[in-house]
Amino acid sequence: MKYRPLGQSGLYVSEYVLGSLTFAGTNGFEALGSVDVAQARRMVDAALDAGVNAVDTANLYSKGDAESVVGRAIADRRDDLLLFSKAASPMTDGPNGAGASRAHLSRQIDDSLRRLGTDHLDLYFIHRWDGVTPVEETVQTMGGLVKSGKIRYWGISNYSGWQVAKTVMLARQMHLPPPVAHQVYYTPAAREAEYEIIPAGEELGVATVVWSPLGQGLLTGRVDRHTPPPADTRQGDDHWPEPYVADRDTLWNVIDALKRVAAARDVSVAQVTLAWLRGQPPVHSIVLGARNEAQLGDNLDSARLELSSGELETIESAGRPPAIYPYWHRAMWALDRPTPAEREYLQRHRLTMGLKRTDEQ
């Protein structure tokens, strides 16, 4: 297991993080999994044995029940791991039951700490952008939580590129700690984060942590253009809406590529997917959300899988996002002075446009 410094912080985090979206399975999260305390303990032990040093959760997951399971599962291992959680999603009825306001976050951090059985979180994410609360208020609140000792660092999740930039720059202007990481949805078939979000984080020292790297079950090998999702999976549950797939043809092409590589290497499709993500330079850590110990073990084994440049290219080209404006224009005319964080993406857009990479001319 490799460890990397988390953004502009002194915190080292393993390349895989144990997720808990599948824990509890109550309050509308039944389709995702039902990992109980005993099973969660075994999964925590397996993750730690593999070198994982962090567990990720959120107050939203099973409306607090997942945090309770995590707290009980790590009760005797708290000093061995880093603990992450999130807030901002609706937790109670009424207009103030969600968001990134001081009032909401102050209550939610205390509730999360109580459920998790700890006096602090190592990393606390704003789970989604709040377009009503002034960013200055959110930044002040998170800075206050750092100063109080309730959290060590903070992050953001599901933000657009300009929202990442606004948050970081305001925090710097206010002389308060900025977010050190952002969690994004990013898979070989869902690459929208490459346009603005990941480059913004790279430029501003915000580490990219990937959530749902297997496309919420789409990239496990059980689904393809000829095989619908099994009924016992979240994709086979009509009540679970995520993820939105903008281009089904691209999804099927990526799955075909993943399956070819997996068959040639005699490994699972999930392992190839995770190995591809690890091979993307901006990716710091990947959150693994397994439904059982067998899935977790298979995911963890992928840490030893290194794909060749040809295999990485086979998968990358199958899922490459279209060269939309202004990226086609920058790929055509601005590669004499590219921003380092976007250079490789612009080179790939040139290939989509039928042009040669400038670094190969």
- Region 115-124 average pLDDT: 98
Residue 153 among the catalytic residues: no
Token pair 């399971």 is found at 69
Q: How high is the mean pLDDT of the chain? A: 96
> How far apart (Å, rounded) are the C-alpha atoms in residues 341 and 343?
6
pLDDT at 80 over 90: yes
Token pair 């091979």 is found at 279
- Per DSSP, helices labelled H in the chain are 37-49, 65-73, 102-116, 135-148, 161-173, 197-204, 248-265, 269-278, 293-301, 309-319, 327-333, 343-352
- Amino acid sitting at position 94: G
Q: Which residues, in sequence order, are CB contacts of 181 under 8 Å at separation 6+?
A: 6, 7, 123, 125, 153, 155, 156, 206, 207, 208, 209, 284
pLDDT value, residue 234: 81
The one catalytic residue among 3, 12, 16, 61 = 61
Dump pLDDT digits (tens) for 264-297: 999 999 999 999 999 998 999 999 999 999 999 9
pLDDT at 308 over 90: yes
pLDDT value, residue 240: 79
